[in-house]
Amino acid sequence: MLKILDENGNVNPVLEPELRGDELIQMYKFMVFSRVADEKAFSLQREGRMGTYAQLKGQEAAQVGSSYALREMDWIFPSYRDLGAMIVRGLPLEYIYLYWMGNEEGSRIPEDVNVFPLSVPVGSQIPIGVGFSNAIKLDEGNAVTVVYFGDGATSEGDFHEGMNWAGVFKTPTVFFCENNQWAISVPRNKQTASKTISQKASAYGFKGIQVDGNDLLAVYSATKEAVEKAQKGEGPTLVEAYTYRMSDHTTADDSGRYRNESEIKKWVEQDPIKRFKLYLELKGLLDNSLDDKIRKETGQMVDNAVKKAEACPAPKPEDIFKYTYAEMPDHLQEQLDELEDSIG
Amino acid sequence: MPVLNIVEAVNMALREEMQRDKRVVILGEDVGVNGGVFRATVGLQEEFGNKRVIDTPILENGIVGCAIGMAVYGLRPVVEIQFMGFIYYILNHIISHAARLRTRSRGRYTVPLVIRAPYGAGIRAPEHHSESTEAIFAHIPGIKVVVSSTPRDTKGLLISAIRDPDPTIFLEPKRIYRALKGDVPDEEYTIPLGKARIVREGKDLSIICWGAMVMVAEAVANEAINDGLDIEIIDLRTLSPLDKDAVISSVEKTGRALVIHEAPKTGGLGAEIVALINEKALLYLKAPVLRVTGQDVAVPLSQAEDYYIPSVARVLNALRDIMAF
């Protein structure tokens, strides 16, 4: 397993990636932002201001490290738990909040943001991302596509088919698996008999690498290398980020039914934000006053996103009909008219 | 004007669209070197290369998943599924992504994708090669479902489907793939999706049908002349969205209707059409609307498949019941 930072924030100097101080601070800010945004979503749900929400707590290094390694032109195809990756790629937080608040406007991704709307059916975004990267290759473009999914998704046929396709056609794809040890209540060892998830890549004829998913630098380095390889036409890579879902599966789940506190406690000690903070402190890039400032600013940004999302008007009846086809067919117009009549 | 069969008309449509629009790519099992199991793509890889006519591994679900990604990117993929019996693998990608991406992203991402599949029984094919399950697809909002019944229509409808900005399931009646020949104009033309064709005008009864059943309806209409009956035949051509006006105005004229489809009866599109007539033209009816359909059973193997498919005799019986009402 690739590891660059240990639990105490000590770096392996041989493997330390070349990143400027401001870049390291920016990555830290993204991780803190993801954590605060995640906690805020949880409380919004509890207050009845948001629907069911899928939490990411514990996976900040996996999401931020991988998405930060991408270039402007690259694309991501996220799963429902990838708020952190989507934020790093430039999707404003209010979009993600709006989606979980039950408004499709949240998936009207801005034109200049290379993010596919998050996918709910597990693993189904994998072939779509692969096909997209195949199109990039046919079009002789330079962009690379990263598809995000969890350990549970590796049991789906879509994972197999996407990996197979990418291997056969050598598409510029990075398969990024956030192995968070749990697929709702099913543990990783009941998901597959494979020793690691990364080893599955060899069956498809390309490289897989397992990295410490709570080590921001390891995730960043492995993803960057995979992107460079894809961009050179050398095909796909499977990156397995070995991490942990510290929260329940979603706000509707109670993980106390299937896992014990001591396991969670062990992983809380491995908190990816804490580890990176220690590294930044050792490097002299971060102290308590800067950290306080970052957290205060982050809180304001998140509150601002909540305000924007809540200020977005609710959909009108016509909104559910008019985007079903490019042109609204007669039968939908009829249904819209009937609905509007009933509303008065 | 060339006289072609339906397979050749498919080939001509694909070739012309690939020449016209370099975004059009073909994906499927055996579509390249082999030219397709029915030879619908024959010669296309030679002309357009293996980057535009792509032989894929055997993964129907994966082909459609990848094709959705290609369509989102901006290509115009045309996928061949070898037989409708193998189309069920793709349902999740059609329902969860292709059909809803436009609306779930409020128009930001769209899926201009065509999935072609030969459908239907009547050629003594092996098990799973004779399905006619178009109602499953017509039930899904956000996609279009097209069934051609003549060589000329096949070319015009397929070109429209390829140019359409939304995903389309394009079903080809393999029972008459080669049996039916007809004039197909060389020049570019399209036939609009969502518009039915009046195959034959009549005043006594409207037969509403599509695909291979159009031929059965024509045979029935010819027989019915002996009974002194003048039958109108409507070929729907597009099952979703349905050309309601064509059905209603025909029924308003004749006052009697009969739906023929090869798919099973229960929950089939015949029920939808009967409901439509009930909603819009009930007072024009002189008799109940009947359906002659495939049976509510798995399509039998070849020795018994004729018990399954609507026959001229079954349709004539239903027609006489309506006239005697």
State the pLDDT at residue B101.
98
- Residue B27, domain CATH: 3.40.50.970
Inside any domain, residue A14: no
Do A282 and A341 share a domain, yes or no? no
| A329 contacts B61? CB cut-off 8 A | no
Do B225 and B298 share a domain, yes or no? yes
Q: Which of B183, B212, B227 is the last residue of a domain?
A: B183
Inside any domain, residue A269: yes
- Work out the pLDDT band at B311, boundaries 50, 70, 90: very high
State the pLDDT at residue A327.
97
Do A223 and A332 share a domain, yes or no? no
Do A296 and A324 share a domain, yes or no? no
Q: What is the mean pLDDT of residues B28-49?
A: 97
Q: Are B142 and B100 in contact (CB under 8 A)?
A: yes
Strand, coil or helix: B185: coil
Cα–Cα distance between A291 and B123 in angstroms, integer? 74
Residues above pLDDT 70, as percent of chain B: 100
Q: Which of B125, B148, B183 is the last residue of a domain?
A: B183
DSSP helix, strand, coil percent of chain A (3-state; round to 5): 50, 10, 40
Do A199 and A94 share a domain, yes or no? yes
Q: Are strands A207-212 and A186-187 parallel, antiparallel or unpaired?
A: unpaired
Instruction: Give yes or no for B50 touching A (CB within 8 A).
Output: no
Cα–Cα distance between A139 and A302 in angstroms, integer? 39
Instruction: Give yes or no for B72 touching A (CB within 8 A).
Output: yes
Do B21 and B154 share a domain, yes or no? yes
Do A296 and A337 share a domain, yes or no? no
Do A148 and A292 share a domain, yes or no? yes
Residues above pLDDT 70, as percent of chain A: 100
Residues of B with Cβ-Cβ distance to A326 under 8 angstroms? 102, 110, 164-166
Inside any domain, residue B191: no
Q: pLDDT digit string (tens) for A215-260?
A: 999 999 999 999 999 999 999 999 999 999 999 999 999 999 999 9
Q: Nearest by CB to B65, which of A104, A128, A136?
A: A128
Q: Nearest by CB to B61, which of A104, A119, A157?
A: A157
Cα–Cα distance between B54 and B64 in angstroms, integer? 13
**Could you tell me how many helices (H) and strands (E) chain A has, helices first?**
14, 7
B5: nearest Cα among B197, B179, B218, B190: B179
Do A203 and A341 share a domain, yes or no? no
Instruction: Give yes or no for B67 touching A (CB within 8 A).
Output: yes
Q: Tally the domains of chain A.
A: 2
Inside any domain, residue A8: no
Do B146 and B260 share a domain, yes or no? no
Strand, coil or helix: B234: strand
Tokens of residue B4, six digits? 């072609």
Q: Is-catalytic flag, A46? A: no
| A162 contacts B65? CB cut-off 8 A | yes
Do A309 and A319 share a domain, yes or no? no
State the pLDDT at residue A344.
80
Residues of A with Cβ-Cβ distance to B52 under 8 angstroms? 138
Do B143 and B175 share a domain, yes or no? yes
Residues of A with Cβ-Cβ distance to B102 under 8 angstroms? 323-326
Residue B193 has pLDDT above 90, yes or no: yes
Interface test with B, best of A132, A163, A164, A170 (most B CBs within 10 A): A132
Do B204 and B282 share a domain, yes or no? yes
The chain-wide mean pLDDT, for chain B, equals 97
Cis peptide bond N-terminal to B241, omega within 30? yes
Inside any domain, residue B69: yes
Closest residue on chain B to A137 (Cα): B51
Tokens of residue B111, six digits? 């899926």
Do A195 and A273 share a domain, yes or no? yes
Q: pLDDT digit string (tens) for A314-336?
A: 999 999 999 999 999 999 999 99
State the pLDDT at residue A233.
96
Closest residue on chain A to B49 (Cα): A138
Length of chain B: 325
Residue B65 has pLDDT above 90, yes or no: yes
The letter for the amino acid at B268 is G
Q: pLDDT digit string (tens) for A55-90?
A: 999 999 999 999 999 999 999 999 999 999 999 999
Q: What is the mean pLDDT of residues B262-278?
A: 98
Q: Is-catalytic flag, A249? A: yes
Q: Nearest by CB to B65, which of A127, A324, A329?
A: A127
Q: Which domain holds residue A338?
A: 315-344
Q: Which of B120, B152, B183 is the last residue of a domain?
A: B183
Do A106 and A193 share a domain, yes or no? yes
Which ipTM score applies to this complex? Answer: 0.96
| A127 contacts B104? CB cut-off 8 A | no
Q: Nearest by CB to A107, which of B73, B106, B244?
A: B106
A319: nearest Cα among A102, A26, A149, A71: A102
Q: What is the mean pLDDT of residues A148-152?
A: 98
Inside any domain, residue A10: no
Q: Nearest by CB to B65, which of A131, A329, A330?
A: A131
| A158 contacts B69? CB cut-off 8 A | no
Q: Tally the domains of chain B.
A: 2
Residues of B with Cβ-Cβ distance to A168 under 8 angstroms? 57
Q: Are B116 and B64 in contact (CB under 8 A)?
A: no
Q: Are B184 and B12 in contact (CB under 8 A)?
A: yes
Do B37 and B170 share a domain, yes or no? yes
Do A344 and A197 share a domain, yes or no? no
Q: Which domain holds residue B179?
A: 3-183
Instruction: Give yes or no for B152 touching A (CB within 8 A).
Output: no
- Interface residues from chain A to B (CB-CB < 8 Å): 104-105, 107-109, 111, 116-117, 119-121, 124, 126-136, 138-139, 157-158, 161-162, 164-165, 168, 319-320, 323-326, 329-331
Inside any domain, residue B218: yes
Q: Taking phi first (over 0 means left), then psi (-120 to 50 degrees means alpha), and beta for anything else, what does residue A279 get? A: alpha
